[in-house]
A and B are shown apart, each in its own frame.
Chain A
Amino acid sequence: MFEKMILQRRDIIIAALAVAGVLVSQPSVAEDTSSPGDATWNSLKGDVFGQRPIGNDGGIISIEAPKRAEDAAIVPVDLRFNTAKDQRIKAVTLIVDENPAPVAAVFKFGPDAGVTHLATRLRVNAYSYVRAIAETEDGKLHMTQAFVKASGGCSAPATKNADEAMANLGKMKLRVFSSKTLSSTSMTRVTDMQLMIRHPNNSGLQMDQVTRYYIPAHFIQGLTVSQGDRLIMSMEGGISISEDPNFRFEFDAKPGEDIKVEAADTEGKKFENEWPVATSSL
C-alpha cells in the first residue's frame, strides 16, 4: 500500500514531466517563505490513511526537528513516545509534506519492544511540515508535526560523495549507549542504540540531461531490527530518508541476546548483520 502510493505519485510526476517536457517544478516549493497551510497535507492524507480520522497527538507522540534544514540532505528528526499512556504504539508514519515522495517511512514496533524514542534523518526539499502519525493498538491515529524551513545556500538533498556511498554499500554499524534506567520488568533494560547503514538512498528523481530519462531510484525499502526472536522494529522506507540511513532508538533490551538487522534495497540486494550485545554494556 505504502510503496504503491509512492510509485504512483512518482509515476504521475514523471508522466506529467514527459508530457510537458519541462524540468521538475513543484509550485509549492518556490515562493512561499511563510508557513504553508494544510493544503498539501489535506490532498495527501487520503492517499496514505484513506478516510480514517486522524486526531491530535494527545500526549502520545511528540516530534522535534530543527526550525531550519541546515543541510537539506541531512535533517535530524526526533520522535518520543509516551508509554505511560494505556495504549501501546503499533506503528508510526513519518511524512514530509512537500517532498516528491512525501512518505519517508513507516515504522512498526514489536509488541514488547518498549520503544520510547526514535531519531532518524530526512531529506527536506522545501519549506515543509514534517509529520509523525502514530497508530495505537486500538487502531486510532494521533498526529504531531513540526515545520521545517528549507536550507539557504547551495545545500541540496543529494548524495555528497556518490562514489564513497556506493563503495561501502550495505556496510552497517551498531552503537550501544549505556543506559542507567531500569525498565519496568526485571528481565529487560532500557537501552539506547544507534544503527547506521551505508547506502546512497538515491531519490531516482534525478534526470539524465541527455537522455531525459530518470536515473532509477535506489534506496533501502525494508529494514528489520530484532533481538533474539523478538521484533524490535521494522521500517518500510522511501527516498526521503537520508543517505546512509541512521536510526537511534531506545527500547527494552534483554541482556545477552544478539541484535540482528536485515535490510533490503530496491535492487533486491539484502544486507544482514548480527551483533552480540554484552550484558555488561546494557
Chain B
Amino acid sequence: MIRANRRDFLKVAAFCSLCGTGAAYAKTGAAGALPVKQIADGVFAFAGVPAMMNGGNRGEICNLGFVIGEDAVAVIDSGGSVAEGRALIDAIRARTDRPIRYLINTHMHPDHIFGNGAFDAEKVTIVGHRNLRRALESRGDYYLESYRSSMGAELMQDIRIVLPTRLVAAVEELDVGKRKLTLQSWKPAHTDNDLTVFDQKTKVLFTGDLCFAEHLPTLDGSLLGWVGQLDMLRAIEASMAVPGHGPVPSPWPDALERQKRYFDVLIGDVRKAIREGVPMMEAVKTAGESERGNWQLFDDYNQRNATAAYAELEWQ
C-alpha cells in the first residue's frame, strides 16, 4: 500500500519534472511500442543496439523477446529500463490480449533486468536461475548507484531491483498453453546465474548472454566454465537463436563459433603471460588484442575480460 503510493508519487514527480522532454517520452510511450519482429510462429524478438547503456538508448542494448501460448505470454528479459519494459509490454499488447504470466530473466545484468518493474501490474511470476536472487542481492544496490550517471536521473528513478520469485534449479518446463518452454540453468559461465529458454514448438533458443554475436562477449562468471559448456550449448538442436547481443535471429549453432575463437585466443594469451610471470596490470594491455577487428565494443570490454581471465586462470 505504502509502496504503491510512494511509486505513484515518484511517477507523478517524474512526469512533472520531464516537461519539455516529457512530451516526447509520453508520445513514444503511447505509440512507441518496442520494435519487435516475429522470428517464428508466436515468437517475437527485439534487437538491442550494440552500445553501452545510456540515457539516449534508454538502456535498450540487449536482445529480448516473448512467446505467445494459447493461454498466456512468457517474456524473456525486461530490458535496461522501466521505460523499455513498458515499451515491450506495449509491443505485446499490440499482438495479444492474453495475460503475461511469466517474466524470465536470463541473468543478473542490468540491461536484462532493469525493466522488471514495468511488469508490476501484470501479476507475473519472475523466473530465474537458482543463483539469480543471491547475485542480485549482492549487486542490486551497486547497479542502481553506478548507472545513475550514464542513464540519468529521469530513467533511473523508476528502476528498482525486482527479484525473481521462482528459481530454476536445473531444467524446468513452463507451460503457456499448448506450448512449453524449456528453461535450463547453467553452471558459472558468463555469470553464475545464466539461464536459457527453448521454445519446444518452434525450436527457437533464447541464449541469454551465453552467446554473443558481433558484440564482444563480457566475462563476469567463469571463462573456463563458459568454454567447458560450449559443447553442451552447441548440442541444443535449435532452429535459430536469439543471442543476448547481436543479430536477431542468429544461425545456430554457427553463432557460437566466433565467440569460441575469442575465448581460445584470450585464454592462450593470458596463460602465456601468467607462465612468464607478466603481472596482471601489464598482461591485460595486450591479451586478446589480435581479436580487436572482429568485434564491436572491443575497447569497452576486452581489458576487463582479460583481467577476469587472468584472476581465474592464475589458479590453474
Contact = CB atoms under 8 A, between A and B. Distances in A.
Interface of A: 23-26, 29-33, 64, 66, 70-72, 74, 76, 78, 119, 121, 125-126, 150-164, 173, 175, 177, 192, 196, 198, 203, 205-209, 215, 242, 244, 246, 248
A74 B137 contact: no
A160 B149 contact: no
B109 interface: yes
Contacts of B137: 206-209, 215
A208 B149 CA distance: 25
A154 B280 contact: no
Given A31-B149, A70-B304, A157 B142 contact: yes
Given A23-B141, A209-B161, A153 B131 contact: no
Nearest to B188: A161
Contacts of B145: 24-26, 29-30, 126
12 contacts: A32-B149, A70-B304, A71-B304, A74-B280, A125-B142, A125-B146, A153-B304, A162-B138, A173-B315, A215-B138, A242-B311, A244-B311
Interface size band for B: 35 or more
Interface residues of chain B: helix, strand, loop or mixed (majority): helix
B52 interface: yes
Contacts of B308: 71, 74, 160
A121 B280 contact: yes
Given A25-B145, A152-B300, A162-B138, 19 more contacts: A23-B144, A24-B145, A29-B146, A74-B307, A76-B281, A119-B281, A121-B311, A125-B146, A153-B53, A160-B191, A160-B308, A161-B221, A161-B222, A162-B131, A162-B192, A164-B222, A173-B314, A177-B277, A244-B315
A85 to B, nearest CB: 24
A160 B220 contact: yes
A155 B108 CA distance: 11
Given A155-B220, A160-B192, A248 B143 contact: no
B161 A70 contact: no
B269 interface: no
Interface of B: 52-53, 109-111, 131, 133-146, 148-150, 161, 163, 188, 191-192, 218, 220-222, 225, 277, 279-281, 284, 300-301, 303-304, 306-308, 311, 314-315
A150 B52 CA distance: 14
Contacts of B138: 156, 158-159, 162, 203, 206, 215
A29 B218 CA distance: 23
Contacts of A248: 279
Chain B CB within 10 A, most for which of A32, A78, A154, A205? A154
B140 A209 contact: yes
B311 A163 contact: no
A242 B110 CA distance: 22
Nearest to B225: A161
B47 to A, nearest CB: 19
Nearest to A32: B149
B148 A30 contact: yes
Given A154-B218, A207-B137, A78 B304 contact: no
Chain A CB within 10 A, most for which of B134, B146, B192, B279? B146
B314 A196 contact: yes
Contacts of B280: 74, 76, 119, 121
Contacts of A158: 135, 138-139, 142
A270 B201 CA distance: 55
A150 B144 CA distance: 14
A160 B222 contact: yes
A22 to B, nearest CB: 10
A157 B225 CA distance: 20
A-B interface, 3 closest residue pairs, ranked by CB to CB distance from nearest? A206-B138, A70-B304, A30-B148
Contacts of A177: 277
